Chains A and B, each alone.
Chain A
Amino acid sequence: AQSVTQLDSHVSVSEGTPVLLRCNYSSSYSPSLFWYVQHPNKGLQLLLKYTSAATLVKGINGFEAEFKKSETSFHLTKPSAHMSDAAEYFCVRSGSARQLTFGSGTQLTVLP
């Protein structure tokens, strides 16, 4: 079965320092991958998506992710964390039937 694995359930960074949230996916012919963010008691907001056009994908709010086929990874990064980035982040893949498969999530805490 197609799946995504988020390697860290919790990540804590200081404000102004880089953010790295790690995601690996099960090998597929051509996965479609997304990162979504969920703030407390809110729905899911799309940060960025990979659709094979470019391996480095830029998203909203300064986030970006790099698709590495050799490592089956799609890690999310941001150069400088802001307090408002504190939230739950989900790595997601789209299957052949367009249903989304979510990772277990990474809770990002940003310390002042």
Chain B
Amino acid sequence: DAGVTQSPTHLIKTRGQQVTLRCSPKSGHDTVSWYQQALGQGPQFIFQYYEEEERQRGNFPDRFSGHQFPNYSSELNVNALLLGDSALYLCASSLVGAKRADTQYFGPGTRLTVL
């Protein structure tokens, strides 16, 4: 049973560039959430995708956008990169329709460095 996978593992970009991160959910899951974890902090919720639509969004600017594909995989796009976007980006998958406290399973993350 494959868990949550993310690619790439590491990424280095310069200010102003754009980046795309990818996530494949755990087998059988249909919902993908993205989190940003800055160094020394807890993860912060970016947004959640279900049925190919953004369902919930945290306090992040429109530079952060996403997409979910029919196979439930997802992309996170960040435009006009800032130094402050340097962080570990975590993807989590879950199953809608389970009990309210459906568990989110996390991937290993993508480490983004903006120079």
Give bound CA distance, A51 to B100, whole Å: 9
Interface residues on B, range: 20 to 34
Residue among A36, A43, A46, A101 having the largest count of chain B Cβ atoms under 10 Å = A43
B41:A104 contact, CB within 8 angstroms: yes
Closest B residue to A31 using CB positions: B101
Q: Is the Cβ of A43 less than 8 Å from the Cβ of B106?
A: yes
A99-B42 contact, Cβ under 8 Å, with A94-B100, A94-B101: no
Q: Please name all residues of chain B whose beta carbon is closer than 8 Å to the beta carbon of A46 when the two chains form the complex.
A: 103, 105
B106 A44 Cβ-Cβ under 8 A = yes
B56 lies within 8 A of chain A by Cβ = yes
B15: which A residues are within 8 A, CB to CB?
none
Q: Count A-B pairs with CB separation below 8 Å.
A: 60
Complex interface: chain A residues within 8 A of B109 (CB)? 42-43
B107 and A97 contact, CB distance less than 8 A:
no
**A44, B41: Cβ atoms closer than 8 Å:** no
Minimal beta-carbon separation of B13 from chain A (angstroms)? 19
| Residues 33 to 66 of chain A near chain B (Cβ within 8 Å) | 34, 36, 42-46, 49-51
Residue of A nearest to B100 (CB): A32
Whether the Cβ atoms of A102 and B43 lie closer than 8 Å is: yes
Alpha-carbon separation in the docked complex, A26 to B12 (Å): 38
Contact assessment for B56 and A100 in the assembled complex, using a CB-CB cutoff below 8 Å: no
Residue among B43, B44, B48, B107 facing the most chain A CB atoms (10 A cut-off): B43
Within 8 Å by CB of A32, from B33, B45, B101, lies: B101
State A103–B37 Cα separation when bound (angstroms).
12
Q: Which of B4, B33, B41, B105 contacts A99 (CB 8 A)?
A: B33
- Mark each residue of chain A from 77 to 103: 1 if its CB lies under 8 Å from any CB of chain B, else 0: 000000000000010001001111111
Known A-B contacts: A42-B108, A90-B43. Give 19 more (CB < 8 A): A32-B101, A43-B4, A43-B90, A43-B108, A44-B90, A51-B101, A97-B56, A98-B33, A98-B48, A98-B56, A98-B104, A99-B33, A99-B45, A99-B58, A100-B33, A102-B42, A102-B43, A102-B44, A105-B41
- Chain B residues with CB under 8 Å of chain A are 4, 31, 33, 35, 41-45, 48, 55-56, 58, 90, 92, 94, 99-109
